[in-house]
C-alpha cells in the first residue's frame, strides 16, 4: 500500500480514506473503516494491483456490461479500490433517503390529485404546469397500494466538511443498480481475501425486495400477480440492466410489441397464447409508453396501456408522470415539502441553489456565473451542465443568453468540491472525485434503502462531473456491518471456494434478435434522457 500511495497528493476536497481535507489533519491519519482495504492492498505491488484491475475489466467485458456514449458501446470502468461507509454514517444517511422518498410519494399523490400543496401556498402552480414531465394524462390514476415511486435513486455528495448533501432526486426511471450488483460480484471474485476479513453488508437482496414491492402493488383481487419488465429493447443503453433485473427476479422481459390491451386488460403474447399481466416495471420513458395517450408514432409502448391502468387492471411502476418530481426546480422546494407533508426537519440538506426565475437570483447568478455551476432543470447524465470556473468566456456569454431567455429552465449552485477516494491511476493511487446514488424500494409499508448504492467516480484528475456518459467509472460501495458473516461464506451469501473466490452464477443476457425498426426510437429515447442515466 505504501508503494501504491507513494506521493498521494493533497487534493482540494474531503478525502473518504483520510477523513479530512488536506491541511486539516495528519497526512498519516486514515479512517478505521478502511483498515481491511489498506491491509489487503499493502500486500500488493503496483504490478499485482494492475493485474487485478485488468481482471475486473475483463470480467465486465465478458458479461457485456457496457454503456453508450454517442452511439458507441464502451465497457464501464470499475475501479479496484472500494468506497467504504461506516455503519454509523449509514444509519444517519439511510433514514434521510427514506424521508426524501416518503415526501416524493406524498408530493406526487397531491400533484395528480387535489394539489393542496398549491392551494396552501407551499409551491406555485406554475412550477407544476410548466414542468416538462407533468402529464395531465396521469391525473385520476390511483395506484393499487398508493405507491407511485416503487424505485428511486437519490444522488448525494459529501461537501468540504464531510457532511452529506442531496444533489438531485430521481423518481422517474433511476438506473445503475445493475452496476451495484455486478460490482459486488466482480470484486468478490477478484479480491476474495478482502471480503473474508471484513463485515460488508450484502446487496444481493435487491431483486427480492424489488419483486416484493412490485407484487405488493398488484391490482386489488389479484392473488398471484404476473410481473414483467418492459424494456425499449436491445439498442437501449440500459438494456443490460433491464435484462439482469428480469432474470434475477425470475420474471419476463418484454417489449411493447409483446403486449396487447384487450377489454381494458393487458396481456403478454406467449407461445402458449395470451397471458394476463398485472404489474409492469416500466423502463420505457413516459412519452413512448402508450401511443394512444402520448406519441402516436411510438413503437416502444403498447396502445391502451394507460387506459388499463386508469381502470385499475394493471399497475405501472414507476408511475407515469413521476418525472415532475425530478425537476431540479422542484428539488429546491424539497426541504419545505418535507416539513409540509411529514412535519419533520430534513435529515439531509440540499446543496444551496438559486431559482433563476426569481429576478434577484437571476441577476446575482449572471454576475457571478464564472464561479457557479448552472444545470438544466430536466437534464440528466451530466448533460448540459456548465461549470463556471472551467468554462471559456464564449461559453459563459452563451450561457448568459440562454439563462435570460429561459430562466425557468435552469438552476445554479456553488461549485461543490465532491469528496475524493483513492483511485488507481497508472501504477499509483490518486484522489478522484465521487458521488453516491443510493437506491430505495418502496413496497407501500416500508421504504428500504439498499446498503451502499452506486459510487460514481470521475476518472480524470480534478473532474467534477462523475457520470458514465461523461467518461466516469464506478466503485463498489461497502456499508460496514457489526455482524460477521458465517465462516466459509461471502457477504453475499455465496460459498467461498478454496482459493477464496465465490461460487456464483454469471448474468447471461440474451435476446432473440435485433430490431432495426425500433432502434431509432430507442436511441431517441436515450437522447431525451429517458432514464436518469448514471
The pLDDT score that the predictor gives to residue 520 is: 56
- Comparing CA positions, the residue from 434, 430, 514 lying closest to residue 475 is 434
Which of 414, 446, 466 is where one domain is finished?
414
122 and 193 co-located in one domain: yes
Residue with the bigger pLDDT between 469 and 453: it is: 453
Q: What is the mean pLDDT of residues 203-209?
A: 96
Instruction: Please tell me the distance from the alpha carbon of residue 347 to that of residue 335, in angstroms, as a whole number.
Output: 9
Residues 338 and 429 in one domain: yes
Residues 175 and 90 in one domain: yes
Report pLDDT for 462: 80
State whether 356 and 469 are in the same domain. no
Query: Do 35 and 115 reside in the same domain of the chain?
Result: yes
Cell of 462: 480534478
Asked if residue 177 and residue 62 are part of one domain, the reply reads yes
- CATH code for the domain in which residue 408 is found: 3.30.1490.270
The verdict on residue 487 lying in a domain is no
pLDDT tens-digit readout, 392-436: 999 999 999 999 999 999 999 999 889 999 999 988 889 999 999
pLDDT at 485 over 70: no
b vs e for 114-124, b when ≥16 Cβ sit within 10 Å of the residue's Cβ? eeebbeeebbe
Long-range CB contact pairs, 495-499, < 8 A, 24+: 496/192, 496/196, 499/192
- Structural domain contains residue 475: yes
Q: Do 63 and 147 reside in the same domain of the chain?
A: yes
Residue 162 lies in a domain: yes
Q: Do 357 and 446 reside in the same domain of the chain?
A: no
Tell me the pLDDT band of 501, cut-offs 50, 70 and 90: very low
- pTM listed for this prediction: 0.88
Cα(189)–Cα(195) distance, integer angstroms: 10
What residues does 15 pair with on adjacent strands? 420
In this structure, is residue 337 part of a structural domain? Answer: yes
Please state, in angstroms and rounded to a whole number, the distance separating the CA atoms of residues 390 and 478: 32
The pLDDT confidence band at residue 379, using thresholds 50, 70 and 90, is: confident
DSSP 41: H
Last residue of some domain: 430, 459, 479? 479
Q: Residue holding cell 430521481?
A: 170
- C-alpha 389/C-alpha 471 separation (Å) is 20
Q: Which residues contact 184 (CB under 8 A, 6 or more apart)?
A: 202, 203, 204, 476, 491, 492
Residue 505, pLDDT score: 36
Average pLDDT over residues 112-116: 95
Q: What is the pLDDT of residue 229?
A: 98
Q: How far is CA 192 from the centre of its chain?
A: 27
- Taking the CA atoms of 379, 384, 389 and 393 in sequence, report the sign of the dihedral they define: negative
216 pLDDT more than 80: yes
Give the closest residue to 227 by CA, choosing from 317, 151, 322, 310. Answer: 317
Please tell me the total count of domains within the chain.
2
Distance, in Å, from the CA atom of 434 to the CA atom of 424, rounded to the nearest integer, reads 14
Please give the residue range of the domain that contains residue 72. 14-219+314-344+416-479
Which pLDDT tens digit goes with each residue over 237-278? 889 999 999 999 999 999 999 999 999 999 999 999 999 999
278 in any annotated domain: no
Q: Are strands 315-317 and 279-282 parallel, antiparallel or unpaired?
A: parallel
Query: What is the helix (H) or strand (E) element at residue 40, kind and residue range?
Result: helix 35-41
Over residues 452-468, the pLDDT tens digits come to 999 999 988 888 877 76
Regarding whether 420 and 410 lie in a shared domain, the answer is no
Give the distance from CA 218 to its chain's centroid: 24
Shared-domain flag, residues 213 and 357? no
> CB atoms < 10 A from the CB of 214, how many?
26
The 10s digit of each residue's pLDDT in 269-291 is 999 999 999 999 999 999 999 99
- The residue-averaged pLDDT of 97-113 equals 97
Same domain, 357 and 208: no
Give the C-alpha separation, 47 to 479, whole Å.
28
Average pLDDT taken over every residue of the chain: 87
> How far apart (Å, rounded) are the C-alpha atoms in residues 208 and 214?
10
- Does some domain include residue 294? no
Q: Is residue 485 part of a domain?
A: no
Q: Which range is least confidently modeled, 65-69, 112-116, 147-151, 398-402?
A: 65-69
For residues 465 and 378, state if they share a domain: no
* Banded pLDDT at 499 (limits 50, 70, 90): very low
Task: Please say which residue of 462, 479, 496 terminates a domain.
Answer: 479
Answer whether residue 272 is part of any domain: no
> Average pLDDT in the 321-331 region?
96
* Mean pLDDT value across residues 101-123: 97
Question: What pLDDT does residue 27 have?
Answer: 56
Amino acid at each position: 500500500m505504501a508503494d501504491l500511495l507513494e506521493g498521494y497528493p493533497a487534493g482540494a476536497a474531503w478525502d473518504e480514506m483520510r477523513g479530512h481535507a488536506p491541511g486539516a489533519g495528519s497526512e498519516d491519519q486514515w479512517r478505521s473503516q478502511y483498515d481491511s482495504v489498506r491491509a489487503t492492498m499493502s500486500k500488493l505491488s503496483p504490478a499485482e494491483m494492475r493485474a487485478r484491475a485488468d481482471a475486473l475489466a475483463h470480467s465486465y467485458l465478458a458479461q457485456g456490461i457496457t454503456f453508450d456514449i454517442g452511439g458507441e458501446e464502451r465497457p464501464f470502468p470499475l475501479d479496484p479500490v472500494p468506497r467504504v461507509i461506516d455503519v454509523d454514517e449509514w444509519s444517519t444517511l439511510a433514514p434521510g433517503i427514506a424521508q426524501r422518498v416518503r415526501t416524493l410519494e406524498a408530493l406526487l399523490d397531491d400533484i395528480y390529485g387535489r394539489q393542496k400543496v398549491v392551494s396552501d401556498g407551499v409551491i406555485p402552480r406554475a412550477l407544476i404546469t410548466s414542468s416538462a414531465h407533468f402529464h395531465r394524462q396521469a391525473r385520476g390514476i390511483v395506484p393499487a397500494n398508493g405507491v407511485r415511486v416503487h424505485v428511486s435513486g437519490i444522488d448525494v455528495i459529501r461537501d468540504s466538511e464531510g457532511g452529506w448533501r442531496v444533489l438531485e432526486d430521481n423518481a422517474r426511471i433511476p438506473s445503475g443498480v445493475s452496476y451495484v450488483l455486478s460490482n459486488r460480484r466482480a470484486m468478490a471474485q477478484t479480491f476474495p481475501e478482502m471480503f473474508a476479513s471484513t463485515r460488508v453488508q450484502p446487496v444481493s437482496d435487491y431483486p427480492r425486495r424489488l419483486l416484493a414491492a412490485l407484487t405488493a402493488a398488484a391490482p386489488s383481487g389479484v392473488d398471484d400477480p404476473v410481473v414483467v419488465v418492459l424494456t425499449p429493447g436491445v439498442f437501449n443503453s440500459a438494456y443490460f440492466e433491464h435484462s439482469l433485473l428480469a432474470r434475477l427476479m425470475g420474471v419476463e422481459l418484454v417489449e411493447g410489441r409483446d403486449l396487447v390491451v384487450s377489454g381494458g386488460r393487458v396481456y403478454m403474447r406467449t407461445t402458449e397464447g395470451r397471458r394476463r399481466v398485472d404489474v409492469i416495471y416500466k423502463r420505457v420513458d413516459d412519452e413512448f409508453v402508450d401511443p394512444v395517450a402520448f406519441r402516436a408514432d411510438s413503437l416502444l409502448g403498447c396502445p391502451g396501456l394507460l387506459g388499463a391502468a386508469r381502470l385499475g387492471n394493471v399497475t405501472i411502476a414507476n408511475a407515469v408522470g413521476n418525472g415532475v418530481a425530478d425537476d431540479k426546480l422542484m428539488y429546491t422546494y424539497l426541504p419545505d415539502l418535507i416539513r409540509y407533508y411529514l412535519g419533520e426537519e430534513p435529515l439531509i440538506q440540499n446543496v444551496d441553489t438559486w431559482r433563476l426565475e426569481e429576478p434577484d437570483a437571476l441577476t446575482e447568478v449572471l454576475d457571478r456565473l464564472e464561479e457557479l455551476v448552472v444545470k438544466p432543470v430536466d437534464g440528466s447524465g451530466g448533460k448540459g451542465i456548465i461549470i463556471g470556473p472551467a468554462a471559456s468566456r464564449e461559453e459563459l456569454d452563451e450561457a448568459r443568453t440562454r439563462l435570460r431567455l429561459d430562466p425557468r429552465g435552469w438552476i445554479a449552485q456553488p461549485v461543490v468540491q465532491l469528496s475524493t477516494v483513492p483511485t488507481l491511476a497508472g501504477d499509483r493511487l490518486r484522489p478522484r472525485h465521487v458521488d453516491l446514488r443510493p437506491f430505495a424500494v418502496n413496497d407501500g409499508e416500508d421504504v428500504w434503502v439498499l446498503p451502499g448504492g452506486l459510487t460514481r467516480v470521475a476518472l480524470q484528475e480534478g473532474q467534477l462531473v462523475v457520470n458514465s456518459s461523461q467518461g466516469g467509472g464506478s466503485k463498489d460501495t461497502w456499508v460496514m456491518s457489526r455482524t460477521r458473516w458465517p465462516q466459509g461464506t461471502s457477504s453475499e451469501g455465496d460459498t467461498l471456494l478454496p482459493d477464496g473466490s465465490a461460487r456464483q452464477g454469471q448474468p447471461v443476457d440474451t435476446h432473440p434478435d435485433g430490431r432495426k425498426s425500433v432502434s431509432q426510437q430507442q436511441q431517441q429515447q436515450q437522447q431525451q434522457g429517458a432514464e436518469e442515466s448514471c
